[in-house]
Structure 1
Amino acid sequence: MKTKFLGLLLIVANFIFVKAQMDDKFYFPSKNLKAIEWVNQQEIQFTVESDTINAIILKPVKNAKATIFYFHGAGGNISNYGPILTPLLNDNFQVILVVFRGYGKSSGIPTHKNIATDGEKVFTKLSKMDGIKNTKKIIYGASIGTQIATHLAKNHETEISGLVLEGTIASFGDIAAVYAPEHKDYLESNFVSPYSAKEDIKSITKIPKLIIHSKEDKDVPYAQGIKVFGNAPEPKHFIEFQGEHLFALKYESEKILGQINKMIAP
């Protein structure tokens, strides 16, 4: 579950990585799927190029009050994230788990660019589906998923009601610098980031933004969430919690649900 980004330690070996994205050092996919213990769910598959992209729709017992598009982190697969999303489902939110290439039942190899383009395609197609198209929509990013979530929200701001970022990474370069601190200044200014939360958030001016981070986060430093929050225009809200990376809904579900419900209020 935890995204330790251990592969990033390899970047200190050669500075040639600076002019490349080094995507393989950021993603740690697993094919070891566990059953998601939720009764009402629907699996969807998309063909993109020569790969298959998987998504799972978890539906609440009652009619969905809104739809949340959830973009997962760098480690494991969506079966690791399903259990921690129960508070959203119990509050009658419909949750769509978008599976990056190479994770779970999705084929291929994840890259910064293809998870962004795949997220775009899944969001666009599923937003037109019955049971989704007439609901309000929220984009929720977790850890490395905060990059695609913010980028997607910037491109679709008029179509969504809010953006939620948990365990926020400021940019691919910023998180690389955490794992190679001796090259911090060089990485933050030179690493190739095709998009970044800290820049994309500046353009999202109309919808409410919720940023969630723990000071105890050992995978993504708290300072990165603060940096993105500082760049975000109003309306915005920050929730600090005590606990491990990406488990905010376990510890602060009431506060988080309160803010998400405000996003969809009339």
Structure 2
Amino acid sequence: MYFAQDSLIFKPTHEVKPVTEVFPGASEYWISTTEGNTLQTWYKPASSGKETLVYLHGNAGNLSTRGRLINILSEDDRGLLIFSWGGFGMSEGQPSEQSFYSDARAVFDWLESNKGLKASDLIVYGESLGTGVAVQLATELNFKGVILAAPYTSIAQMAANDYPWLPVNLLLNHRFDSIDKVTAITEPLVVMHSTDDDTIPFEQGELLFKAATEPKLFMPFTDRQHTKFRSEDVDRAIRWILDKQ
């Protein structure tokens, strides 16, 4: 189990559909990381007066397997950036907890230096495993807002639930301890979770939200399964964040 944990947590695919097919109107960029790798990135700028979102996707697939959420997040002339984690899609590198944090830092640095977008101009949309990265980066930077779609308290707790007979704390290399970090987030925070999520238990989202500080909004559902959130859900979350500015 110790040696298999990377394959249990990170499940990339490498076949990538063209940006023109999945994200019309976006351009492809290659962002360098401090480790010397490059990240495959798609970015479409916002129309004047519209917000820009950064989409931190989950533990499987790559940026081109997120067409449904790409369409939703970029609706209403919003700007959107999505990238594949190192080792996913055509991005270089080996996935790990620390490499995920480093990848995200490189993306936010690139947005500021190349597009003039500071953290305070951005809304972060973290999905599933990506919620742990969103939480970490929100403790380092001051975003306009953070949306956590189907979050967990920690990978350690998830693993302990799945493998109660294992000494998880001794074995786990990638912890993503969101529950220990979420209290440090000061920007407006939205948590979305569905009771029929069979990947990350609804109770994990509830516990994370309870530990978070204000301002915060919990959006519970009964029929969104795992990360199948809709346009009206995203619109409500964004409107709430903007009202807090």
Structure 2 partner of 1:214 = 194
Q: Does the 8 A contact of 1:21 with 1:191 survive in 2?
A: no
Q: Does the 8 A contact of 1:69 with 1:139 survive in 2?
A: yes
Structure 1 partner of 2:39 = 53
| Cα drift, residue 194 of structure 1 | 5.3
Q: Deviations over 1:146-190 (max 9, x none)?
A: 111110011002xx111110110211202212321344xx53698
SS of residue paired to 1:210: strand
Matched, 1:152 2:137: yes
Structure 1 105/64 Cα, relative in aligned 2: closer, same or farther at 3 Å?
farther
Determine the C-alpha separation between the residues in 2 that align with 1:170 and 1:188.
14
Structure 1 134/171 Cα, relative in aligned 2: closer, same or farther at 3 Å?
closer
- What is the letter of the counterpart of residue 93 of structure 1? R
Structure 2 partner of 1:6 = none
Matched, 1:28 2:11: yes
Structure 2 partner of 1:7 = none
Structure 2 partner of 1:244 = 225
Q: Does the 8 A contact of 2:23 with 2:70 survive in 1?
A: no
Q: CA RMSD in A?
A: 2.4
Structure 2 partner of 1:161 = 144
| Range that drifts further, 27-36 or 65-74 | 27-36
Gapped regions of structure 2 (runs ≥ 5): none
| Cα drift, residue 223 of structure 1 | 1.2
| Range that drifts further, 67-76 or 172-181 | 172-181
Q: Does the 8 A contact of 1:43 with 1:55 survive in 2?
A: yes
SS of residue paired to 1:243: coil
Structure 1 length-normalised TM: 0.81
- What is the letter of the counterpart of residue 14 of structure 2? K
Matched, 1:176 2:159: yes
Structure 2 partner of 1:5 = none
| Cα drift, residue 198 of structure 1 | 1.1
SS of residue paired to 2:74: helix
Structure 2 length-normalised TM: 0.87
SS of residue paired to 1:164: strand
Determine the C-alpha separation between the residues in 2 that align with 1:43 and 1:64.
23
Instruction: Using the aligned pairs only, state the percent identity.
Output: 26
Q: Which residue, 125, 132, 137 being the options, matches 2:117?
A: 132
Count, aligned residues: 240
- What is the letter of the counterpart of residue 146 of structure 2? L
Determine the C-alpha separation between the residues in 1 that align with 2:228 and 2:165.
30
- What is the letter of the counterpart of residue 85 of structure 1? I
Q: Does the 8 A contact of 1:136 with 1:264 survive in 2?
A: no
| Cα drift, residue 143 of structure 1 | 0.5
SS of residue paired to 1:256: helix
Structure 1 188/243 Cα, relative in aligned 2: closer, same or farther at 3 Å?
farther
- What is the letter of the counterpart of residue 54 of structure 2? F
Looking at both structures, which has the greater relative contact order when contacts are Cα pairs under 8 Å and sequence separation is at least 6? Answer: 1
Determine the C-alpha separation between the residues in 2 that align with 1:224 and 1:239.
13
| Cα drift, residue 195 of structure 1 | 4.2
Q: Does the 8 A contact of 1:168 with 1:211 survive in 2?
A: yes
Q: Deviations over 1:100-152 (max 9, x none)?
A: 01111102210111111111121122123336359821111101001111100
Q: Does the 8 A contact of 2:14 with 2:88 survive in 1?
A: yes
Determine the C-alpha separation between the residues in 2 that align with 1:76 and 1:156.
27
Q: Does the 8 A contact of 2:45 with 2:52 survive in 1?
A: no
